[in-house]
Chains A and B, each alone.
Chain A
Amino acid sequence: MTQKRILLVEDDGADAALILRALDETPSSNLVCVMRDGEQAFEFLLQPDEYGRRRPPPDLILLDWNLPGAGGAEVLEKLRSEPRTRWLPVVVITGAASRAGHADAYRLGANSYVVKSTDAEIFADHIEQIVRYWLYINEPPPWVN
C-alpha cells in the first residue's frame, strides 16, 4: 500500500505522541508531520522546502481545535480559502465536547469532528477509525493532485 502523508497540527506533546501511536495501527506506513500551530502548518503547506521545491499536499490534515494563538477555527477558515488546500480532508480534534464548537467546525468546513476521550483505548480507537475512513475508504477526488 502506498505511503500516506498526514499533517498533524497539535500543540500538546502528549496528545501528539498518543495520536502518532494510534496512527501506527493503520494499514500503511504513514509519513506524519507534526506542526505546533497554524503558522507552522501554513509554512509547511505553502512555502517551498530548503531546496526550493514545493512539498506535495498531505492526504489528510488532523487539526487540534484548541491551538495557541489563532486557534483551530482560524486555521480551518484559512485552509478552506487557499486554492492549494481547499479540497484537503480536515479532521478536527477537540479536547472538550461543546455544542458550539461542534457546529462551528462543520460550518467552517471540517470533514469530521472527534472528541478526545480521556479513556486512552477509546481515544486511540477513534483516531484510528476516522483516519482509516479518510485515507482508505473515502479516496480524495482525482483532481486534488
Chain B
Amino acid sequence: MSAQILIVDDSLTVRMALAETLEDAGFTCHICATGAEARQALAIGHFLLAILDLLLPDDDGIELLKAIRGQPETRGMAVIMLSTEAEVRHRIRGLAAGADDYIGKPYDPAYLVGRARDHIRRLGGDRAHTGKAILLIDDSATFRTALQEMLEEAGYDTLLAETGEEGLRIAADARPAAVIVDGALPGIDGATVIRRIRLDAALRQTPCLMLTGSEDVVDELQALDVGADAYVRKGEDNEVVLARLNALLRGVVGWDSKPAPDSLQAPKRVLAVDDDPLYLQLVARILQGEGFEVQLAPSGEEALQLLALQPVDCLVLDLNMPGLDGLETCRRIKAAPGLRDVPVLILTGTEDSGAMIKSYEAGADDYLLKSSDAEVLRARVLAQIRRKQGQDETRRIREELLRKELEAAGERAARQAAEERAAHAAELELKNQELEAFSYSVAHDLRAPLRGIDGFSLALLEDYESLLDETGKGYLNHIRDSTLHMARLIDDLLKLSKVTRSEFLVCEVDLSAIAQSVVDRLRDAHPGRKVEVLIEPGMTAMGDPALLMVALENLLGNAWKFTGKRSDARISFGRETRERQFVFVVRDNGAGFDGTRSGKLFNVFTRLHSAQDFEGTGIGLATVLRVVRRHGGKIWAEGEVGKGAAFFFTLEAKT
C-alpha cells in the first residue's frame, strides 16, 4: 500500500521528526530530501497529503506545489507548506499557488497532526482510522489501561487523556467516534467536558458515555442533563461499558458522513501586523505561549492579501505603519462581508485619546498601548477570541434553529399536503360512488317509464287493433320507435360513463381475436348481410381487454352499419405506419363522411348521418375516444362522402 503522506524537507531532523509525529498518529509516510526525489515519488505513488518545505536545495517548494497542482493525478491531493519563513508574503505565495495550509516552523506537533488529519478526512482517506477511535478521559492510570485493553480487544482504536482539558483538545483534533469520560476529574469535571462537547458544532454529534464512582441517582440525572448519552457506574463490570458503547455507536447514523465544521477547541489563528519586526517577534512569543498559531505580516497590504486567502480568529494591528495604516486596514476589514466578524485589536505606541476614538470609529474591537504588560495583551486577545467564538456559536445555533424551523415547516407542509391529497382522494372516491349510484338510478328510473310507454303502445296495437285505423297504428309505432331510441341513448350513455370510471387493468390483449369475435357476433345478428372482413392476424397491445372490446365493438359496428347500403361491403382492421409509428386502423368502403368535419366526430351526440339513413345515438365514437385516451393513445379519422372512412388509433397503455 502506498503511503498516505509525502514529506519533503531538506533538513534530516525536521523530516524525521515530522515522520515520527505523523506515524505515531497512525499515518504512513514517505520521506524525501529534495524536490527531484519528491517528483519521482509523486510519479509512482499515490498520496493524500504532501507536507512541503518552502525552500529546498534543488527546487523551490512553490514550484513543486505548482507541479502537483498541474498534474491531473496529483491535482486533488492536500498540500501543507511548512517553513521557517513565518512572514506573511511567503504564506500568501504558498496559498496563492494552491497550498491548502501553511504552517510556520517551529510547529506544534499536535497542531500539525490535527491539520493533517483534517485534510485527510476531507479527502476521505482517514475514515477508517477516526471511525473507530474512542477517546477515554480518566485520571486513574490503572482504570485507563484496563479499559483501553478491553476496547482494543473489541476492535476499537483508543485515544487517552488524563484531564478534561487534554481530552477536549484531542477530541477537537482527532474527532473520535465516541467519548468515555470519568465524572470526577482534576480541573474541569466530566459534566463540563460533555457540556463543552455539546456546545461545539464540530463535536456535538459525538456520543458521550459518562463514568462515575458514585451510586447517587442525582449524579446520573446531572450527567444526562448536561448531554451524556449513557451513564455507567465504575463499580460495574467493564463489559457493561463496552455493551453501552456498542449500543451508542449503533445509534449514531452517519456520524462520519458529512464534514464537521471547525472545532471550537482547535488552535486559534492570530494574525499580527506591524512594520516593526522586533515587536512582531515579541507578539508572536507572547501569543504562542498561549497555544495560538501566530502569523506575522509586515504591512496592512499583506495582511489584507492573506485574509483574502484564509480566515483568522483575531487580528492584532499596529496603528502607525507606512503605506496602509492600521486605521485604513481596519476600515477595509470591517467593510468586507466575509471579514467583518474578525476581531481587530489596534496597538499603538503613543497614548492618544483621539487615535483611540478614531480606532473605534474605524471599527476596531479593542485598543491597546504597546507598552502594556504582556499579560494584558494576552488577556485582551483571549477575550476577543472568546467573544468571536460566542458570536460564531450563537450564529451557528441560530442557523441550526432556523434550519430546524424550516425542516419542521417543510414537514408540516408535506404532512398537510398529504392530508389534503388523502382528503381529496376520499372526496373523489365518494363522488365516484355517488356517480355510480346516480348512474344506476338513472338507468333504472329512466327506463321504467319507457317500459310503460312501449308496453301500453304495444297493448293498444294488439288488444285494440280493430278499433284503430292505419294512421293511428302508425302513430303508435312512432311512439314505440322513439321509446326504443331513448332506451338506446340511456344504454350508450351508461356505457360511456362506465368506460371513464371502471377499473383499468393492463395485460397483453389479442386485438385480432377480439375483432374476430366482434365480427362473428355482427354476422350472427345480421345473417342477411354479405360483408368481406379482413383482420390482420397476431395484433396485440398492452391494455384493458374489456375497454378495448368496447372500442372495437363501436368501430367495427360503425363500419358494419355504414356499409349497410353497399353490396360489395368491405371492412379491414390492421396496422399501418404513420410518422414512423405503428398505428391501428379500421377501414370501410361505406357511406364515409365529410372530411372537414372529422374533428367533431368524437364529440358526444355528434351525428353526421340522418337517423333515416343510419340509426345511432352519437355516443359510440365518444366512448371509443375515452377508451383510447385511457390507454394514453390518440385517435383520428379520415373520410370522404360515398367512399368510406378510416379510423386510426394508437395505444400506449401506462402500466
Contacts and interface: CB of A to CB of B under 8 A. Distances in A.
A21 B459 contact: yes
A118 B458 contact: no
A118 to B, nearest CB: 4
A96 B443 contact: yes
B349 interface: no
A35 interface: no
Contacts of B467: none
A14 B456 contact: yes
Interface stretch (A52-60, A70-78, A119-127, A130-138): A119-127
30 contacts: A14-B448, A14-B456, A15-B448, A15-B452, A17-B455, A17-B456, A18-B451, A18-B452, A18-B455, A21-B459, A66-B444, A95-B448, A96-B440, A96-B443, A96-B447, A98-B440, A116-B447, A117-B451, A118-B447, A118-B450, A118-B484, A119-B484, A119-B487, A120-B451, A120-B457, A120-B458, A120-B480, A123-B451, A124-B455, A124-B458
Contacts of A119: 454, 484, 487
Interface of B: 440, 443-445, 447-452, 454-459, 480, 483-484, 487
A116 B458 contact: no
B448 A12 contact: yes
Contacts of A17: 455-456
Contacts of A14: 448-449, 451-452, 455-456
B451 A121 contact: no
B444 A118 contact: no
Given A14-B456, A17-B455, A124-B458, 7 more contacts: A12-B448, A95-B445, A116-B451, A118-B447, A120-B454, A121-B458, A124-B455
Contacts of A117: 451
Contacts of B445: 95
Nearest to A116: B451
A18 B458 CA distance: 10
Nearest to A19: B455
A2 B490 CA distance: 42
A119 to B, nearest CB: 6
A115 to B, nearest CB: 10
A98 B442 CA distance: 13
A15 B449 CA distance: 9
Nearest to A100: B440
B255 to A, nearest CB: 58
Interface string A106-121: 0000000000111111
Interface in A8-58: 12, 14-15, 17-18, 21
Interface of A: 12, 14-15, 17-18, 21, 66, 95-96, 98, 116-121, 123-124
Nearest to B445: A95
Contacts of B455: 14, 17-18, 21, 120, 123-124
A121 B451 CA distance: 10
A15 B444 CA distance: 13
Contacts of A18: 451-452, 455-456, 459
B315 to A, nearest CB: 84
Contact of B483 (A15, A21, A66, A118): A118
Contacts of B483: 118
Nearest to B459: A21
Q: Which 10 A-B pairs have the closest CB atoms?
A: A14-B452, A118-B487, A96-B444, A120-B458, A120-B455, A18-B455, A120-B454, A95-B444, A96-B443, A118-B450
Contacts of B443: 96
A121 B602 CA distance: 33
Output the residue of A12, A18, A116, A120 with the most chain B CB within 10 A. Answer: A120
B459 A15 contact: no
Contacts of B448: 12, 14-15, 95, 116
A20 to B, nearest CB: 11
Contacts of B454: 118-120
A14 B447 CA distance: 12
A95 B443 CA distance: 8
A8 to B, nearest CB: 15
A116 B483 CA distance: 15
A21 B449 CA distance: 17
A72 B448 CA distance: 17
Residue from B455, B458, B484 whose CB has the most chain A CB atoms within 10 Å: B455
A82 B484 CA distance: 41
Contacts of A96: 440, 443-444, 447
Contacts of A66: 444
Nearest to B461: A120
Nearest to A12: B448
Contacts of A21: 455, 459
A117 B455 CA distance: 10
Nearest to B443: A96
Contacts of B447: 95-96, 116, 118
